[in-house]
Amino acid sequence: MIEVTYLVLLSCVVFVIGIVGVGLNRNNLVAILMNIELMLIAVNINFIAFSNYHQNLEGHIAVFFVLAIAAAEAAIGLAIFVKLYERYHSIQADKFSSLKELA
């Protein structure tokens, strides 16, 4: 069985990759969305690791909630990207200044 230390280290690495990706890709909205998903995956790894370590199911249940939130976030984010593309013919963040005009 994999030790908790290795899983927490993996989670930290994935989370840092997500943070760095958000920092480096400030203009590309799809890349930002993917990096946020990476950060949520890192949280899920921690939930599963500590749930297995403590021999309970609370972490596994929390993962289902995080996955549901991630799916909703992706669906809403992609819907917003479609509206932005219809309006500005691009999804680069520097092409638009506010979302007020979309309504």
Q: What is the pLDDT of residues 18-27, one digit of tens each?
A: 999 999 988 8
Fold for 4-102, please state it.
Helix Hairpins (1.10.287)
**CA–CA distance, 67 with 100 (Å, rounded to integer):** 29
Give residue 18's pLDDT.
96
pLDDT, one tens digit per residue, over 28-81 is 888 999 999 999 999 999 999 999 999 999 999 999 999 999 999 999 999 988
**CA–CA distance, 35 with 40 (Å, rounded to integer):** 9
Give residue 100's pLDDT.
61
pTM of the model: 0.84
